A = this chain, B = another copy of it.
């Protein structure tokens, strides 16, 4: 079962190929491009290289040239200094404007290599091969690239659609359980935003999802990507509607900042953020509490936390108000008016947010 989505209305056209075994397209493309003399520059990390680097590297074997840069794994790699390492690496190898940057990895590699591709020689062709569930359903689709600054996460980056995204669930085989759970949170987020029966499917298939049944995962990934690409096509540069994808993220970022990065994984923070956003939505829009109860049960069924230590609520509120997604004059908070009906740019009074935080207090 393979699928394909073409984004045509974005600044750069993009094709997403999905399904088990879709990674084999790399070999086809490498063969097709062989006579052009174009080369492939793969950027990956040590963990991914060990898990599936050979498979991808072999697939590109027919290309006129290929080279692999292996970065350390983890968020600490997503820096300006790492970008400089990638840029100098490309330059030293004489990368040309038409050569390909291939981002092989999870969100960190995808964001970093995407930023590098978007800026090296003012933009090179980019292929994204996401190897984590989170990257498959979220970061590899939509064309946001980024690196972190000392001052905060994702503060520097670009909007740059990859020419090709290959979303192959077979690459998830070796993904550690906590990483897998992180990705599931984005699936839950999509289910809340999407006006379809995705939430119900998740609820009935939670056991299959938890044991990573390949067909189930494949279908979930496809549905999330279809939903996300529709939103991105309408609003590539996040002038408005695309902001709905930040559901749960204002609180998540604030939790990460106030607890210290790494204490809570980003996925788990977003899961908690979703519950807070739903509680806020109850106050602001009269969303039935049932939506939050269902979400809470679903998160538990997927082995995800629904409570956290809240030691510094004032720090947390400060952090939420500083969240970078904020534009001048709005708090940029995303709520649900009803299941599948998000509202963005909601101006949430601090006391409402403070009260809502209580629903996740341990």
Q: A157 to B146: give the CA distance in the assembly, Å.
A: 15
User: Which chain B positions have C-beta within 8 A of A96?
Assistant: 326-328
Contact of A119 with B157 at beta-carbon distance under 8 Å, contacts A92-B151, A149-B88 already known: yes
| Bound: A92/B150 CA distance, A | 9
Known: A99-B328, A149-B91. Contact between A156 and B119, CB under 8 A? yes
A19-35 vs B, Cβ < 8 Å mask (1 yes, 0 no)? 00000000000000000
Q: Is A51 in contact with chain B by the CB < 8 A criterion? A: no
A329 interface residue (CB < 8 Å to B) = yes
Interface size class of A (residues with CB under 8 A): 35 or more
Q: Inside 8 A of A328's CB, which chain B residues have their CB?
A: 36-38, 96-99
Residues of B within 8 A of A326 (CB): 96
In the bound assembly, the distance between CA atoms of A353 and B237 in angstroms comes to 45
| Interface membership of chain A positions 144-185, coded 1 if the CB is closer than 8 angstroms to chain B and 0 otherwise | 111001111001111100000000000000000000000000
A36 to B96, CA, bound (A): 43
The digit string for A309-348, where 1 denotes a CB below 8 A from any CB of B, is 0000000000000101011110000000000000000000
A152 nearest in chain B by CB position: B91
Q: Is the CB of B87 within 8 A of A155?
A: yes
Q: Is A71 an interface residue (CB 8 A)?
A: no
Extra contacts, 18 of them, besides A36-B328, A118-B158, A120-B156 (Cβ < 8 A), are A11-B11, A37-B329, A80-B80, A80-B84, A87-B156, A88-B150, A91-B149, A91-B151, A91-B152, A97-B328, A98-B328, A99-B328, A119-B157, A121-B156, A122-B144, A122-B237, A122-B238, A158-B158
**B-binding residues in A (CB < 8 A):** 11, 36-38, 80, 83-84, 87-88, 91-92, 94, 96-99, 115, 118-123, 144-146, 149-152, 155-159, 237-238, 322, 324, 326-329
